[in-house]
Structure 1
Amino acid sequence: MKYVCLFVVLWLGAGRLAAQSGYQPAPENLRSREAFQDSRFGMFIHWGIYSMLGDGEWAMTNKNIDCREYAKLAGGFYPSKFDAKAWVQAAKDAGMKYICITSRHHDGFSMFGTRYSDYNIVEATPYGRDVVRELAKECRKQGIRLHFYYSLLDWTREDYYPLGTTGQGTGRTAHGDWNDYLGFMNNQLTELLTGYGPVGAVWFDGWWDKADADWQLDKIYATIHRLQPGCLVGNNHHREPFPGEDFQAFEQDLPGQNTAGHSAGQTISALPLETCATMNGTWGYSITDRNYKSVAALIHLLVNAAGRNANLLLNVGPQPDGEIPQASLERLREVGRWMKTYGETVYGTRAGEIAPGAWGVSTRKGDRLFVHVLRRDGDTLSLPLTGGVVRSAVRFADRAEVPFSVATDSVSLDLSGIPADEIDSVIELSVRR
């Protein structure tokens, strides 16, 4: 494997920019943040040569596979059924507004045609096609924003040294230079930001592998913002946002929760928020994982995210042949049908002033407050609401009136006329502030 470790001029310029006073997002960036929040729903795609093992994206380190043996997977990678148009159409049919694909994951294999390593899908596989370029072209054609996942850690390169907490059993014995690795990453990011059209966001992962390392994130972030001022930067580091970041990521949990164990002590910032979640139990394709969430659970996850002012980035793990698993497609289509009716209560909304509870959440758009009843406990729902005058209450889907009564600091809704088995009983309140 050859590596070209060349520091480009932009890297040096980014260092000077980062040395200036605190990060000030450009007007294009602020507009992108607003559009990002308005979109509310995106597709995460974890796909790489690890799909051939059918054991998720962490198989290399989980099984201590020697990186040289693992690299042989590339020689047999030929996703004959990959169809960028079908992928983007599946996202659109689900009601998703953007796609985030793994351009390079922790195994170090690049899913795009990079000049800075021959360990990539164009040079190392018989397939020989730049799937990221094809996806970028199709996203532009169909009006879907494209985001790039990019791993900061690497289980293959020798200049990722000292080793981190993962990937210690992948057979690396030589000790490369850390600055070469930083230069390699900067060069690849420059390629992605200059050769693939407009990029909605760069979604970093892996900082936690070497939390004490000198990652020089200020330079990396400054380079991104210089090349594409409207491109957002997020980092799945499980901490409060660092300077230069434009949105806050939460993994497998809604903001304010920590059931997955990644968000201990992570407070919710004022930046746009995004929760990423798997549809089953793994990010990359797993041949044995059939533990898929139900359609109702996925809709609840999306609505619960919106009610906490967050986007949902819902994952699919394509098969080694390039097709999205049928179980995922079926669920995406059903979520899309629901979104055709209720999308207005999700897109372009912000968290409502009625705080989330066991009953559900609220979202707001102007003077319209959408109450999403996800769990019923009787026919009367009393909710705290102060500072506004409720003028009407109707079922969102058919505009049928919902009886209500108001007190000084609450509103009570009569749910007796609403079927108790609905996935989400959405009641629209007209509230004058």
Structure 2
Amino acid sequence: MNKTVEITYKTKHTKVGDIPKDWSLDKLRKNAIVLFSNVDKHIKENEIPVSLCNYQDVYYHDYITSSIPFSAGSVKESEFYKFQLHKGDVIITKDSEDRKDIAVPAYVIEEIPNLICGYHLAILRPNEAHLDGVFLSFLLQSHNINHYFQKLANGVTRFGLTTESIKNALIPIPPLPEQEKIAEILSNLDLAISTTNSLIEEIKLRNKGLAQNLLKGKKRLKGFEGEWNEVAIKDIANRITRKNEELDDTVVTISAQRGLVRQEDFFTKRVASKTLSNYYLIYKGEFAYNKSYSNGYPMGAFKRLDGFEKAVVTTLYICFSLKKIVSSDFMKHFFEAGFMVRPLMKIAQEGGRAHGLLNIGIQDFFGLKLTIPTFKEQQAITSVLSEADKELDLYKKQLNILKKQKKGLMQKLLTGKIRVNIK
């Protein structure tokens, strides 16, 4: 196992921050070939058919592998040999509407036949005698170097790196054995992160299947039998229209993935009007339905207020509290499972998607039908699903810990604050 050692050492100040004196600071052009691709997405006759590694493939993947569904393309023979990707290449984004998306790297981890680098990307092909490709990829992810490349980008509304700016970019270069050890340590963390991510996706899939079976009565828990009851939302819920007379300042919005969150956290700014008295005030445990459709929520999302004692929401939301004849936790699972999609599709007026909002009337909404079990069976189902969610939450926490470990180690290893033992 590789060991890291935190020691006191002599440093030198550089344009990319303080680095150890035994590290060199050199131009990228002296250590790697830099190529700008001009291959577009058009498929032309009489050209060589290829797979294209495009901007999105690089932006959303740390590693380029054959499992990525590359798009089809075509290139001239000269382009094929010039822009064909090989194992060990590092690809970076060279253009973006946001500086933060400049020089995002991905490492080509395997030889993939006929894979060509697409437009808006640059190939960095390291000289293996001086620069390790995996190390370079991690280096480009580090705060100091990524910020340095962002500053090199030119533009006002769209930013871009020139060939010369990349070639002349300065990078800190440890001795090759140290590069390889750093790359190995961080790669092992990436493997742990990837494995944990895969486990999370497997558990999500399992939990989804479990929820679908239990919440629809396809699978019954031991000790429960008999027919479920069909009810309307108005039978189990009361509409909330209380105005924010106390002028509470906690403005929340529905995030499909995160639930009811502060507007500042969702939009990075407050988008509500300055006068909040006309907003609805809801309390912890009460629900809001957003008629705006989003990815994974084609008919809008139901969310319960869990993170705040009280909050205010736009009057575009349909808000309601549940009566004591139903389990709030059961209904939260029920709504999240997507069982309201078909009923909502039936009442959404044709052509009623104005500004992203579904045209759903209040009376129609509260008249929606759903089939639910007895209160006791609701509680039993909720108990099983909550236990399943606890396991998922455990792995999510583990994933966050691993990501923080990687971030912390990158900052120290890639600046030489911690040195690796290469003996």
Question: Shorter-chain TM-score: which interval?
Answer: under 0.3
Which has more radius of gyration?
2
TM-score between both structures, scaled by the size of structure 1: 0.25
Whose strand proportion is higher, 1 or 2? 2
TM-score between both structures, scaled by the size of structure 2: 0.25
